[in-house]
Amino acid sequence: MQKKELKHKSESISFRVPCDLLSELHEEAERKEISLNTLVTQIMRRHVDWYSFAAYAGFVYVTKGFIMKTLQKISEEDIISIAKYTSEKETKDFVLLLRNQYNARSALDVIETWIRISGYPYRHKIDNTTHSYVIQHDMGRKWSLRLVEIYQFILSEFKMNDEQVFDVGENTLSFSVNFPKVYE
């Protein structure tokens, strides 16, 4: 979910940072063509939005190769069944833990943060009340099916599944959902 652009107050603060770490941060900022301040703000935002609670919410880091090889061994029906089960058992808890509330806005915000943290190239377009997403995960059709089940569960929780449209591709998933202004 795109966060509204608000003027946030900022404050100057000083940190002591090891020289080698600071040098790496400067190099990364230069590669990304952003200021060091912007990079550090992004790092802190990701920490607060995701990393500080992700492990508590049950997220673990596993390599893409491991997941893809494992998915080859499991049928599409089993992927869907497992995704449905975990969505029903875990989604509310991890959204609550990451956002301290469980509503349409917080759930969609967690989805978008998860996409971003996973490093997937994606687009999020808003046209009136319709939010359209295109996610290029490059992990195969079965991964797309898993994501569909998770997203459908979340959307159904908040009665937003009437007009959702999913397009499952081999390495890309796209979907649109009506997100009425009442949720904004």
pLDDT tens for each residue of 71-92: 999 999 999 999 999 999 999 9
Per-residue model confidence as pLDDT tens digits over 117-153: 998 999 999 998 888 999 999 999 999 999 999 998 9
Q: Is the pTM above the cut of 0.85?
A: no
Domain spans in the chain, listed from the N-terminal domain onward = 19-54, 75-183
Paired tokens of 135: 């996610």
How many residues are present in the chain? 184
Q: What's the CA gap between 122 and 182, in Å, rounded? A: 25
Architecture, CATH, for domain 75-183:
Alpha-Beta Complex (3.90)
Predicted confidence at residue 17, as pLDDT, reads 92
Q: What's the CA gap between 184 and 4, in Å, rounded? A: 10
